[in-house]
A and B are shown apart, each in its own frame.
Chain A
Amino acid sequence: MRRCLRLDSHNTQETHDSQQPIIEFKQVKVYFQHRPKLLGGKVTIHAVDDVTLRLQEGEIFGLVGESGSGKSTLARTVVKLHKPTAGEIDYRGKDIFRQDRSGLKQFRRRVQMIFQDPYESLNPQADVFGAVIEPLVIHGLAPKGRDQQKARVSELLERVGLDPTSKIDRFPHELSGGERQRIAIARALSLEPDLLIADEAVSMLDVSVRLGILELMLDLKRKFNLTYIFITHDLGVARYICTRIAVMYRGKVVEIADPDELISHPFHHYTNLLLASIPGSPMRKPDQLGEAVLNPGLLPRGCRFESRCPGAQEKCRNIEPPLVEVKEGHFVACHFPLGQESNN
């Protein structure tokens, strides 16, 4: 049963929130300074550029895009691995970059992350027990006594579909990719978070293992009423698990819709291009696919996608299109979206 979820772009005047969003991005910008050539000048990379989003509790919100889209940077900023250059991220109404110490501790319990690389996201020196109990130890929430701790870890392992007795003493290198990712999930769950950020959580797993992890994530969501931000480049996976998908391109959100709606009626030309490029796509393949962006520092004045867009016009070169709701629950940032023959 899907809720009718709304998003406000910063253009519309009214606010439609029935309840407070669990995460809100307010004009978030994350820029990095980079010196590509040793003696050259510094280049600013606009990884995330003015993103405004509102996520409700219980959503599985997908962030889809290719490399350079900013989806990973945005996700990592939510868990405070990056600091925004401008803008604000609110967790349940409170700015997460203006927290006091207790606020931060509280936040770390409520928001956790599952990383992409199952081989690299676990400390190779720690066994499964150590990896799963660590967050609790850090927050002083671990039960006293080794036996109770082991019991808690075993409970968590069972929740993620692993047999405690055979796995609890293992080290990461003794486990398969799927198992490691389950450990990572158990670790993230130990603090009883309500928001999980999954950064390409299945991309590095074998195909036959991916579905198991996705099913686990859905199951956990149902059991514990979790909210997910799910980052992926794979639209098939996004469609399968997400309740809503936002497509990002070069730091900007270009389209937001329910998965089936997005796939059957894409409005943005980039989304269309993505869908048409998928192997086995029934959509018409465009003649020109354009060249990937090589100068991340060079930003156009208008729409970022203009140089590759088959529908681009003069206006696109000069004015950045705002994110507008064109259909209920379906937002797009384009001056001349597909299927909207009446321009302006």
Chain B
Amino acid sequence: MQEIETSVSVDSSKTSTNLRRILHDRKAQAGFGIILFFSFVALTAPIVSPYSPYAFPAPGRPYTPPGREFLLGTDYLGEDILSEIIYGARVSMLVGIIVAILSTGLGTLVGVLAGYYGHVVDEGLMRATDIVLILPPLPLMIILAAYLGPSLQTVIFVLTITTWPLVARVVRSQTLSLKERPFTDSARVAGASDFRIMTKLLIPNLATIIAANAVLMVTTAIVGEASLDFIGLGDITVVSWGTMLYWAQSYAIFNGAWWWVIAPGLCIVLVGLGFVLISVSIERIFNPRLRT
């Protein structure tokens, strides 16, 4: 076979050059900007927020439209919606990130083991994965949440359970293809143990796929959390963007408080978009075929 010079391949090595590429990519910059902004807001909530969202007595009159006093208006109790948004960012983003980490971790573990060992291990793990995949997520979430009781932990648990199979699938198929590449044989011939091959060879080469997926997962989790809250399965006493929507659905419409719905909804969309932009950019950097 003729030797053909190729440009930088998918598993490009120097992390610093790739980080630089990501940072220079406009989409990623936009994404990072959004995320950094919201993260900052979440982290500095007590400082930045004009009021506490649980303030008692409530600072304003209920259903105040956005104005100079309350930038985003007030809710049905008279609490400042801006403050709710700021504190809500904490919960939403925290849940999103935790779920992403847990789900990606579990999915990667399953995917690598299934892909590497094949045969019985693969069959077993994949059947388990399939079972979870087949179950419709929303009813599953409802049942689990109803059974476990509405709380933040339940939300995290439910979201992790329903999202890890997708990661496992993707990781497994990438592992399968990596396993066939000569450098895996080379490691085996050099005497590397299965564990070493999986941890030091396969996972680093999978890192880009995992990263891109993990980032997308955050968006899924944030929306998922909001969904669960929305139907009342989360802890509705805690302020999060989802719980805001929960309360808003009952009260906002009949009182014309559009700002109460738009504010959290827009935030969810924006944060989701931010992570998607980052994920797309990661994918583009590491897959030369997608570069324009």
Interface residues of A (CB under 8 A from B): 76, 79-81, 104-105, 108-109, 112-113, 115-127, 134-135, 138-139, 171-173, 177, 184, 187, 191, 203-206
Contacts and interface: CB of A to CB of B under 8 A. Distances in A.
A204 B183 contact: no
Given A119-B6, A203-B1, A81 B189 contact: yes
Contacts of A120: 181-183
B289 to A, nearest CB: 16
A253 to B, nearest CB: 24
A105 B182 contact: no
B201 interface: yes
A294 to B, nearest CB: 22
Interface string B1-24: 111001011011110000000000
A138 B192 contact: yes
A138 B204 contact: no
Contacts of B6: 119
16 contacts: A76-B185, A81-B185, A108-B190, A113-B185, A113-B186, A115-B185, A121-B182, A121-B186, A122-B186, A125-B204, A134-B192, A138-B190, A138-B192, A171-B14, A173-B13, A204-B1
B191 A125 contact: no
A177 B3 CA distance: 8
A154 to B, nearest CB: 19
A43 B48 CA distance: 70
A189 to B, nearest CB: 12
A123 B189 contact: no
A122 B181 CA distance: 10
Contacts of B61: none
B190 A123 contact: no
B188 interface: yes
Contacts of B8: 173
Q: Which 5 residue pairs of A and B lie closest in terms of their CB atoms, listed nearest first? A: A108-B191, A124-B11, A121-B182, A171-B13, A135-B190
B205 A125 contact: yes
B248 to A, nearest CB: 48
B13 A112 contact: no
A139 B191 contact: yes
Given A109-B191, A171-B13, 16 more contacts: A79-B189, A81-B185, A112-B189, A112-B190, A113-B189, A115-B185, A118-B3, A120-B182, A121-B186, A123-B183, A125-B205, A134-B187, A135-B191, A138-B192, A138-B196, A184-B186
B201 A123 contact: yes
Nearest to A122: B183
B196 to A, nearest CB: 7
B191 A138 contact: yes
Contacts of A204: 1-3
Nearest to A134: B190
A206 B12 contact: no
Given A115-B182, A115-B185, A124 B12 contact: yes
A126 B192 CA distance: 15
A117 B9 contact: no
A123 B190 CA distance: 13
A113 B1 CA distance: 20
Given A122-B183, A125-B205, A173-B13, A108 B189 contact: yes
Contacts of A205: 3
A119 B3 CA distance: 9
B3 A123 contact: no
A126 B200 CA distance: 10
Contacts of B3: 118, 177, 204-206
A115 B205 CA distance: 20
Interface in B165-183: 181-183
A33 to B, nearest CB: 12
B205 to A, nearest CB: 6
B14 A124 contact: no
A184 B183 CA distance: 10
Given A105-B191, A138-B196, A203-B1, A173 B9 contact: yes
A76 B204 CA distance: 26
A112 B183 CA distance: 13
B169 to A, nearest CB: 20
A138 to B, nearest CB: 5
A121 B196 contact: no
Contacts of A115: 182, 185-186
Most chain A beta-carbon neighbours within 10 Å: one of B181, B186, B192: B186
A122 B117 CA distance: 22
B13 A127 contact: yes
A127 B12 CA distance: 11
Nearest to B181: A120
Contact of A121 (B11, B183, B192): B183
B186 A124 contact: no
Contacts of B187: 123, 134
A188 B192 CA distance: 13
Contacts of B1: 203-204
Given A138-B192, A177-B3, A125 B11 contact: yes
Nearest to A125: B204
A177 B205 CA distance: 21
Contacts of A113: 185-186, 189
A123 B182 CA distance: 9
